[in-house]
Structure formats: structure tokens, C-alpha cells
Amino acid sequence: MTTDPISIAAAMDAERDPGSDTPSAADGERRTLPPVLSKAPPVAMVIFGASGDLTARKILPALARLADRGVLDDGFTVIGVARTEWSDDEFRAHVTESTPDGGPKWRALTGRFKYVTGEYDHPDTFDQLRSHLDEADRIDGTDGNRLYYLATIPSVFGLVAQALAKHGCTGPGAGGNFARVVVEKPFGRDLDSALALNDEMHRAFDESQIYRIDHYMGKETVQNVLALRFANAIFEPIWNRRYVEQVQVTVAESLGVEHRGGFYETAGALRDIVQNHVMQVLALTLMESPTSTEADRVRDEKVKLLQAIDIPTPDEAVDKSVRGQYLAGTVDGVDVPGYRAEDDVAPDSQTETYLALRLRVENWRWAGVPIYVRTGKRLPARVTEVALTFRQVPFLLFDHRSSRDLRPNTLILRIQPDEGISLEFGAKVPGEKFHIRSVAMDFSYDEAFAGADAADGYERLIHDAMVGDATLFIRSDEVEQAWRIVDPYLTAWSEPGGGLHFYPAGTWGPHMADLLVERSGDEWRNPVVDLELSGGRQTHLEQ
């Protein structure tokens, strides 16, 4: 662990007075926090796609926070690589612009950052890169350690890996301990392309060097699923088909495709969210206990769970899924256009912006328990949650009238926003009559860990790649199995018409999605309304 705690005076100020950037007089006393991440080793980080959106929005800000936490070593530097013609100085200016909140520790490092303009398959690019890497080892003290980050368009991932191999860059430099590569999503666009990409990556790097990123795994609330399940005695005995009646995973967004219409047209909700984020969340929620927290032991269990998810025939895939696309509507009081009117979207686009699935997990723990999954853009709220609904009591003592407001016990893992866990259960309403209704017992991260200043997803994952902890990264067999599960849906939908249903923006998806669950006598939770009805704390869900 690092011994260099960071000052969070500014964060505390913001907490006290969210409307103001100006510290108040009472804030003179500076508080320090225990460091949340261990110190990283010296390393030269090479970002391919250095002039792109992801680098500016996620990677550089995460690095700036790591620097200001004191996590980055003095022997840390960045070498940006991209096709945009920039000098070192122009890249550094871009870095500064992308990290306006960067503190002195970050700024002390950025002056040494280098940039290579070049094509991703051209020898000159990699010759220059090599000489920068050697120089960084000599001058900046990066000690021969390398972390490559592929933040380019996916079609060049394999190309870059091959070029690195060809130029002798896939091992550590002189005196170094490691060379690792972080690969962004999407990893493939179907099973065949994922297999081909794994093959290409493995010709350049050993699997132990490859860190496939899924930013959902960097979320504290996702990691907390492991703590909840395996650090507590009370949940595991009921975490199975005997007690759980159904599981619902919701990844709802109120935003549309924003400026990413071009990308989204090639993806859709299945590839964008379900194949990666949803499968990861499901795996952690439903897998067996790993034998240790070692990366491969956790990933072994995730793979086993994914292997137990049923792979439908294309006919079954049609029957068990509902695809939707948003029409114009109103979200949070604002009129928004339909998907087909978004920039870079075809006027007759068949891409799904909503998807509901009914999955089965065929193993002893979950056989017969429906697993419902839904995700969509332009839904009424931004909320990601996993809800486990428990079976009713075998015999209900109270008559229908007294218990009409009683709903099944439900455990809700709120991944975001308003991070926490709720347990809904029945309680007697005070009064003479025996009237029972559902109430909620709540755990809120913000309240329980106030001021904890947790690392965000990218920060955590980049740090883990630097220290060589692959637990939260996706192994090749995991990514392939996730594609095996979703591939039949892609095949089924590629038929003319593809069964697309429409929903007005600001609603919970197409009516057909309700029928998908009603067929089994179930219904979708309304993540916003249900919690409020249960008498729990008022939600602060962002719209």
C-alpha cells in the first residue's frame, strides 16, 4: 500500500456546498484519506488511439487521479500513438485540456509525455515507439516495464498487436519485469470474430499479458456482489432455486445514443451492453464460490456459470427476446427525437436500442429460475440493478385484504446510481387491524462510506493492469462463452424484419417486453416506483 495519503479538502468542500467551487472558511483544516490503491511500479504506458475520445474522456482523467492520489511511480510516463498529426507539445496540451482537475503531481509528470504520429501498421510508427521506450527507460526511470492500451477502433486491435510483436515490443525492455496489453471493448462482434481476435492476440502476447477491459468490473458495486455473497453467512443458504423465484437484471439509460450514432449502428444493445456488462454482472451474481480471490479462480467460476447459461436455437432466440427501438418522446420533461432521427443513423435502421431476454441457467443451483434481462436507451431513468425476488411463504396467515400491499421479498443490488442494497419485506402497518405492507431496509454506499473517495472504474482497472492483478479483467474463454450465448440472437434477428418493436422515448420499452415476462406469470419491476411504493427512502435516481 502507498504511504502517501492524498488531501481531499476540495472534495470535502464540494460535499459541504455542492453549488460552490469556493472553499469556505470552515474548511481551513485539511483532511487526509487512507490511500485506496496500492503504489504502482514504474511503467511506460503506451496509448494507441491517444487523440481519441476514450483517451480524453476516460483514460487521461483516470491517470490524473491516480497521479494525484500518489499511486503513480516517479518512473511513470505516457507515450501517445495516433494518426492525428501532433507534436509532443500538442499532445501535452491535449493532455492538460483533458484533465483540467489534474493536481501538481499529475502536472509534474505530463511534461515528459511523448507522442508518435503514425499508421498502426507502419514500421516507422513502431521504430519511433521503440526509441521512445528506450529513452523512457534511460531518462524517466520506467525500468523496462510496458503497458500498452488499445484505445483505437476495434478493427485495428489485432493489427497493433501483430506490429508490436514484429518490432520486438511484446516483452519487457532491458531490466523490466512486464509488458501487458489492455484491450478495450468491443472484443469482437460475434463469436467468429472474437475467436479470430483472440487468435491474433495470442500470436503476439501470452494470455497472462492480455487485460480485456469491461468498465463494469471496475465499479465498486459490481465487486461488492462478491463481498455480499461470500463474506456473509446469511445470503448464501437462500441464494438458489429453492428460495429465489426469479432474477431481473436492468441496465437502463435515459440518454440516447448521443454523438455515437455511427458506432451504435454497428453495435445495438446486445453487443453494446448484454454481451459484456450484463454477462459479467450475471456471472458474479449467479456463480459458485471461487476457492480463492486469485484472478484465475474467480474467472474459472465466472466461466462455469456462463457455460451453464442456455444457448438457444435461433427459433428459441426469437421466442425468448424482444428487441426495441426508441421513437420520439419525452424524457424528464424534455422532448427528444427518435433513434432514426439521430446523427449518423439510417432512416430505416433496424438496430435495437432496447433488448429484453429470458435466460435459463442450467445447473443445480438455478434450474427453473427465470433470469430476465433488459437494457435500453431513452428509458425513464438511468438505473442499473440486479433484483432477486424470493418465493412466497408456503402458507400465508393473513387474508387477502390485509396483505394486498405485500409483495414478494426482493433483494435489490443497486449498481448505480444511488449505489446500495435494499431488502424489501413485509411489515405490519401500525394500528388495530393486521394490515401488512412491503417496506425496504436500505444500505447506501454514500452514507456508510462517506468520504471514502473510491476510485472510479477506469482508475481502478488501469491501476490493476499496472500492478498485474487480472481478477477484474475478462479471460479469453469468458469472452468467447459470452459470444456463444448471444450469437444465436444475432443470427435469428438477421432474418428480414428481425422482429423490431418500437417504444416512445421515456417509457420502459415496448409492450412486447411486458408480454415476455407475463407469459411466465411475472412482471418487470419498476426500479423507480417500486422502491418508493415499498416505503423505502425516497430515491434520488437521475433521470
Residues with a catalytic annotation lie at 277
Contact 75/43 with Cβ under 8 angstroms? Answer: yes
Q: Is 220 in the site for ligand BG6 (CB under 6 A)?
A: no
Rounded to whole angstroms, how far apart are CA atoms 131 and 127? 6
Rule CB under 6 A: which of 328-387 touch ligand BG6?
384
User: And the C-alpha cell for 519?
Assistant: 407469459
- Measured from the CB atom, the residue of 211 and 366 that comes closer to ligand BG6 is 211
Residue 369 CB: number of other CB atoms within 10 A?
21
As measured in angstroms, the least distance from the Cβ of 111 to ligand BG6 is 32
As measured in angstroms, the least distance from the Cβ of 157 to ligand BG6 is 16
Q: Is 253 in the site for ligand BG6 (CB under 6 A)?
A: yes
- Measured from the CB atom, the residue of 424 and 464 that comes closer to ligand BG6 is 464
Q: Is 272 in the site for ligand BG6 (CB under 6 A)?
A: yes
Chain length of the chain: 543
Strand partners, 211: 182
As measured in angstroms, the least distance from the Cβ of 253 to ligand BG6 is 6
Distance from the Cα of residue 374 to its chain's centroid? 15
Closest residue by beta carbon to ligand BG6: 272
Q: For residue 92, what is the enclosing H or E element? A: helix 88-98
Strand partners, 80: 47, 115
- Measured from the CB atom, the residue of 92 and 340 that comes closer to ligand BG6 is 340
Which are the contacts of 271, defined by CB distance < 8 A and separation ≥ 6? 186, 189, 486
Which of 280, 309, 305 lies closest to 370, judged by CA?
A: 309
Q: List b or e across 139-161, with b for residues whose CB sees 16 or more CB atoms inside 10 angstroms.
A: ebebbbbbbbbbbbebebbbbbb
Rounded to whole angstroms, how far apart are CA atoms 61 and 83? 21
- Measured from the CB atom, the residue of 152 and 384 that comes closer to ligand BG6 is 384
As measured in angstroms, the least distance from the Cβ of 382 to ligand BG6 is 7
Q: Is 110 in the site for ligand BG6 (CB under 6 A)?
A: no
How many residues in the shown chain lie near ligand BG6 by CB under 6 A? 3
As measured in angstroms, the least distance from the Cβ of 354 to ligand BG6 is 13
User: DSSP class of residue 405?
Assistant: B
- Measured from the CB atom, the residue of 384 and 507 that comes closer to ligand BG6 is 384
Rounded to whole angstroms, how far apart are CA atoms 458 and 59? 7
Rounded to whole angstroms, how far apart are CA atoms 13 and 3? 24
Distance from the Cα of residue 483 to its chain's centroid? 17
Contact 221/413 with Cβ under 8 angstroms? Answer: yes
Which are the contacts of 399, defined by CB distance < 8 A and separation ≥ 6? none
Contact 355/494 with Cβ under 8 angstroms? Answer: no
DSSP output for 503-520 = EETTSSS-HHHHHHHHTT
- Measured from the CB atom, the residue of 244 and 251 that comes closer to ligand BG6 is 251
User: DSSP class of residue 32?
Assistant: B
Which of 1, 37, 33 lies closest to 472, judged by CA?
A: 37
- Measured from the CB atom, the residue of 114 and 277 that comes closer to ligand BG6 is 277
Per DSSP, the three-state class of 151 is coil
Contact 216/254 with Cβ under 8 angstroms? Answer: no
- Measured from the CB atom, the residue of 518 and 542 that comes closer to ligand BG6 is 542
- Measured from the CB atom, the residue of 220 and 272 that comes closer to ligand BG6 is 272
Q: In what order do the strands lie in the sheet with 383-390?
A: 436-444, 420-428, 410-416, 383-390, 244-252, 371-376, 354-359, 321-327, 500-504
Rounded to whole angstroms, how far apart are CA atoms 77 and 69? 16
As measured in angstroms, the least distance from the Cβ of 337 to ligand BG6 is 17
| Half-sphere exposure at residue 73, Cβ-oriented, CA atoms within 13 angstroms | 18
As measured in angstroms, the least distance from the Cβ of 229 to ligand BG6 is 22
Site string for ligand BG6, 491-520 (x = CB under 6 A): ------------------------------
- Measured from the CB atom, the residue of 154 and 173 that comes closer to ligand BG6 is 154
Residue with cell 491474433: 200
As measured in angstroms, the least distance from the Cβ of 186 to ligand BG6 is 8
As measured in angstroms, the least distance from the Cβ of 384 to ligand BG6 is 6
Q: Is 419 in the site for ligand BG6 (CB under 6 A)?
A: no
As measured in angstroms, the least distance from the Cβ of 542 to ligand BG6 is 10
Q: Would you call the peptide bond into 290 cis, given omega within 30 degrees of 0 as the criterion?
A: no
Q: Which residues are at the interface with ligand BG6 (CB under 6 A)?
A: 253, 272, 384
